[in-house]
Amino acid sequence: MSVQLFVPGETRLHEKRVALVPAVAEKLLKLGIAINIQPGAGGAARIPDLAYEKAGVNVAEPPADVDLIFRVQPPTLAEIEQMKPGTVLCCFVYAHREMPIVRALRDNKITCFAMELVPRITRAQAMDALSSQAALAGYYAALLAATNLNRILPMMTTAVGSLRPARILVMGAGVAGLQALATAKRLGAIVEGYDVRPEVKEQVESVGGKFVDTGVSASGAGGYARELTSEEQTKVDEVLTRHIQNADAVITTASIPGRPSPKIISEAQILGMKPGSVIIDLAAEGGGNTPLTEPGDTVEVGPVTIVAPLNIPSHLAEHASELYSRNLLALIGLMVKDGELSIDWDDEILAGAVLTHDGEIKNEAAKKAADTTPGE
């Protein structure tokens, strides 16, 4: 019997993505997976039911016996209660923010693969949903900078003289930061990139940016940056303050999975920025990279406008859904053999990405949090 996949519509506020697009559905069908998608699930991403039907997908409510569920956001507690034990669920969870959900997945014996836990190794690049969504966020950040400034980005020559190009500083040269740099450069700005990991200098320069070198390295495990000590931060601040206060726009991208976003721009640095300057804070989901950030809002503080959008990929729902769907296809390719679900727990990708299985929380950080956080 074929693996039964169900793709529900997303129910969280402002979530426009869908976990499956028709082009990827066709490839899943070839793997021997039978697909049901909830009517209207792709509507917010402007993907009509008819497009799924043409791809061979059954547009209907879930069948009685679902083996596999694709989602973007985690399910509700009520939805988890309706899942049969052993169901395989693939979605973002962010366990540190969703402890009641994690406990419910454990207690209902759901095998949940949390997409944010996919290991950052070469073999898993096609499954790295964090990176695919971050690339879109970086692109959008450059557009937000352009539309929130009271000036243009490129140099422009007119009959009455020339206008100088804007200066944009991107703090954090990960996937989002590099895409922000590349997009701002294409829009004509003078771009600088800063990262506490000096080894990314070549990457910054490869997209047209000038690397801001502070002489401090903070390379951390798993491809992420570690938090700086107070002494290191003081040294970095001395260099960065000059660049921050010379910029027309600053885009911040620093985040640490499972922890609050680090504060990488101080209130004093912000108040010393040029009148009309803008900060685009891409770390708002974790509280923001400045002490004055208000997640989800745009605020004016002294001379600066701080823009702190939430769930940026959802604003680009069509392409965000397409990339996320491809990530899921690559991941499920490790689990489906001869038309049946067959999970190899010796596979480092699957072992690293699993959050809950067979009544246990498998991720150590999530397990520790579940044991120490009071139940709700």
Inter-residue contact 154 to 135 (CB < 8 Å): no
- Is 358 catalytic? The answer is no
pLDDT (tens digit per residue) in 286-323 = 999 999 999 999 999 999 999 999 999 999 999 999 99
pLDDT of residue 198: 86
Looking at domain 134-315, its CATH superfamily turns out to be NAD(P)-binding Rossmann-like Domain (3.40.50.720)
Inter-residue contact 38 to 57 (CB < 8 Å): no
Inter-residue contact 265 to 278 (CB < 8 Å): no
Q: Using CA atoms, how far apart are residues 233 and 208, in angstroms rounded to an integer?
A: 26
Of the candidates 46, 107, 125, 164, the residue annotated as catalytic is 125
Sign of the CA dihedral 58, 64, 65, 66? Answer: positive
Of the candidates 131, 179, 261, 269, the residue annotated as catalytic is 131
* Pairing relationship of beta strands 277-281 and 190-194 according to DSSP bridges: unpaired
Longest Cα separation, the chain: 74
**Class assignment of domain 3-127+317-368?**
alpha beta
Tell me the H-state helices in 223-358.
230-246, 267-271, 317-332, 348-353
pLDDT (tens digit per residue) in 148-162 = 999 999 999 999 999
- Is 125 catalytic? The answer is yes
- Is 224 catalytic? The answer is yes
At position 279, the amino acid (one-letter code) is I
Mean pLDDT, rounded, of the chain: 94
- Is 131 catalytic? The answer is yes
Of the candidates 17, 94, 103, 128, the residue annotated as catalytic is 128
Where in the sequence of the chain do the CATH 3.40.50.720 domains occur?
A: 3-127+317-368, 134-315
pLDDT (tens digit per residue) in 183-223 = 999 999 999 999 988 889 999 999 999 999 988 877 666 65
Inter-residue contact 57 to 24 (CB < 8 Å): no
Q: Can you tell me the mean pLDDT for 153-177? A: 96
Q: Using CA atoms, how far apart are residues 218 and 99, in angstroms rounded to an integer?
A: 30
Return the closest-CA partner of residue 91 out of 33, 162, 7, 159: 7
Residue 157 Cα distances to 64, 163, 315, angstroms:
66, 6, 33
Of the candidates 38, 186, 219, 224, the residue annotated as catalytic is 224
pLDDT (tens digit per residue) in 50-82 = 999 999 999 999 988 999 999 999 999 999 999
- Is 321 catalytic? The answer is no
Of the candidates 38, 120, 226, 237, the residue annotated as catalytic is 120
Could you tell me the pTM of the whole model? 0.91
- Identify the residue with better confidence: 368 or 180: 180
